[in-house]
C-alpha cells in the first residue's frame, strides 16, 4: 500500500524525470510510469536481488524503456552523471537501527531497518539529487514526522506539506526548496471506513490508479 500511495501522490508530468530511492522491486516507479506517459524513472536499490526483480518487472510491464534500476548504497554519493531530477520519491526504512528488532531474514531487515544510510542521509541524498525547483516526496511513519521536517529545514527544503493517512500510522511529506520552515497541513486521506473497508477515495487510488491530491 505504501508504494502505491507514494506513487499516486507524485505530481509528475509527461517528460519529467523521477528518482526512486530504495526502489525495492520497482513498484513505485512502475505505478508512476503507468499513470504518467512519457516520464522516466531511475530506481536506486541496495540489494542486487531486488534490483534484478525490479528490472524484470519493468520488462514484464512494458516499461523497460522508461524505468531502470541501479544497484547502489546511499551511504555513498550517487554515481556520476545521475541527475538532477525533477522529482525524488522515497520510502526509507522505517526503523532506526538503535531501537529495531530486525527480522532474521536479511533482505527484510535491510528493507525495514536503517543500515549503512540513516534517515538523515537518505534525505540529504534526495535533496542533493533534485533540480532547484524540484519536489521531494517521502512516505514514512508518523512518529518520525518532526525528525523529517527538522532535517528538511536544515537542508534548505523547508517548504513542507504534510498529509496524514488515518488510521494508518503513516504520513506523506512533500518538500520544496525554501529557507526556513513553511509548513502546511493538507486534508488527510482517510483510508478505511468504520467497517474496515477502504473509503471510496482510497479505493480509487489503490485499485484504479487515480492520483492522490495534496
Domain CATH code at residue 120: 3.40.50.150
Q: Which of 130, 131, 127, 129 is nearest to 157 (CA)?
A: 127
- Cα dihedral sign, 65-69-70-75: positive
Tell me, what's the pLDDT at 99?
64
- Dist CA 19 CA 126 (whole Å): 8
Split the chain (214 residues) into runs of 10 and give each run's mean pLDDT: 97 98 96 96 97 97 96 94 96 74 65 78 97 98 96 98 96 97 97 94 94 91
Does 207 reside within a domain? no
Does 84 reside within a domain? yes
Task: State the residue for C-alpha cell 512494458.
Answer: 62
Tell me, what's the pLDDT at 149?
98
Please state the separation of Cα 99 from the chain's center in Å.
23
Does 196 reside within a domain? no
Question: What are the two backbone dihedrals, phi and then psi, of residue 171, each rounded to the nearest 5 degrees?
Answer: -145, 140
- Dist CA 127 CA 59 (whole Å): 29
Does 65 reside within a domain? yes
Q: What is the total count of domains within the chain? A: 1
Does 83 reside within a domain? yes
Whether omega before 167 lies within 30 degrees of 0, making that bond cis, reads yes
Tell me, what's the pLDDT at 108?
64
- Dist CA 18 CA 37 (whole Å): 13
Does 88 reside within a domain? yes
Tell me, what's the pLDDT at 206?
94
Tell me, what's the pLDDT at 115?
75
Print the domain residue range for 25.
Answer: 2-187
Residue ranges of alpha helices (H) inside 61-173 are 106-112, 119-128, 145-154
Tell me, what's the pLDDT at 116?
78
Does 61 reside within a domain? yes
Does 203 reside within a domain? no
Amino acid at each position: 500500500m505504501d508504494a502505491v500511495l507514494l506513487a499516486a501522490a507524485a505530481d509528475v508530468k509527461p517528460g519529467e524525470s523521477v528518482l526512486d530511492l530504495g526502489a525495492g522491486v520497482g513498484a513505485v516507479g512502475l505505478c508512476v510510469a503507468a499513470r504518467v506517459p512519457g516520464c522516466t524513472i531511475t530506481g536506486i536499490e541496495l540489494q542486487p536481488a531486488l534490483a534484478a526483480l525490479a528490472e524484470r518487472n519493468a520488462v514484464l510491464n512494458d516499461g523497460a524503456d522508461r524505468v531502470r534500476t541501479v544497484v547502489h548504497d546511499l551511504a555513498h554519493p550517487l554515481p556520476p552523471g545521475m541527475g538532477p531530477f525533477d522529482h525524488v520519491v522515497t520510502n526509507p526504512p522505517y526503523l532506526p537501527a538503535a531501537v529495531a528488532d530486525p527480522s532474521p531474514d536479511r533482505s527484510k531487515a535491510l528493507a525495514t531497518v536503517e543500515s549503512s544510510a540513516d534517515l538523515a542521509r537518505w534525505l540529504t541524498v534526495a535533496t542533493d539529487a533534485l533540480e532547484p525547483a524540484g519536489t521531494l516526496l517521502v512516505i514514512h511513519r508518523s512518529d518520525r514526522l518532526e525528525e523529517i521536517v527538522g532535517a528538511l529545514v536544515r537542508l534548505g527544503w523547508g517548504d513542507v506539506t504534510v498529509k496524514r493517512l488515518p488510521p494508518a500510522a503513516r504520513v506523506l511529506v512533500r518538500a520544496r526548496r525554501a529557507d526556513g520552515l513553511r509548513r502546511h497541513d493538507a486534508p488527510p486521506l482517510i483510508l478505511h471506513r468504520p467497517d474496515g473497508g477502504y473509503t471510496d477515495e482510497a479505493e480509487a487510488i489503490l485499485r484504479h490508479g487515480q492520483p492522490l491530491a495534496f
